[in-house]
Amino acid sequence: MKTLVSVIGAKKVIDILNGMQDRAKNPRESFFAIADEFAKHEGTVFNQQGAVEGFAGWAPLSPNYVAEKAAEGYGSRILIRTGKLRMSLTDKTDANFVFRLTPKRLVIGTSVPYAKFHRRGTSNMPAREPIRITQALRKRWSEIMRNFVIFARKG
C-alpha cells in the first residue's frame, strides 16, 4: 500500500504545508469575505429588528417616540430614523463602515458616533445592540478562514 507522500511526492506535500502555514500567518485575504458576510448579516439583523439566532428582538420604541417618528415621516422601524446607522453596518462602501486590516487582525463595525448609545442604552433609552454576532455567523467566519488556510479559497 502506497502512502500519500509517495503518491504525490514529498516536495508537493511540503509545498502544500508551507502554503497553508503562510496563509495561516497572514489571513488578510480572507478578511474581505468576512466583511461581506458581516454586512449581509447586519442587513438581516436590521430587517428582523435584532431578533436573530440566540437574540431577542430589540426593545420596542416608546409610544411617544413612535408618534414623533411617524409625524416626521420616518416610520416605526427600530434603530432606523435616517438610515445612517444601518447603512454604516450593511454597505461596505459607506463612509462610516469600519473595515481596518492588519496582517493578523480585522476591525469591523461602524464609526457612527451615536451607535454606542444604542448599544449601551441611556437613561432615556433601552440598550439595542445594532451588532449581533450569532453562532452561525461565527461558524461561517471559521469556514472562511479554514477554506482560506487549507484550500487558498478567498470566500
Tell whether 33 is covered by a domain.
yes
- Residue 84 maps to a domain: yes
Structural domain boundaries, residue 67: 20-151
> Domain total for the chain?
1
User: Nearest 5°: CA angle at 53, between 120 and 39?
Assistant: 70
What's the confidence (pLDDT) of residue 10? Answer: 76
**Does position 6 have pLDDT exceeding 60, yes or no?**
no
Provide the pLDDT for residue 93: 97
- Nearest Cα to Cα of residue 77 among 85, 66, 87: 66
- Is 59 part of a structural domain of the chain? yes
Q: What is the pLDDT of residues 47-66, one digit of tens each?
A: 999 999 999 999 999 999 99
* Cβ atoms of residues 56 and 127 within 8 Å: no
The predicted-structure confidence for 83-105, as pLDDT tens digits, reads as follows 999 999 999 999 999 999 887 78
Which whole number is the average pLDDT over 8-12?
75
Residue 133 clears pLDDT 70, i.e. is over it: yes
Give SS3 for 112: coil
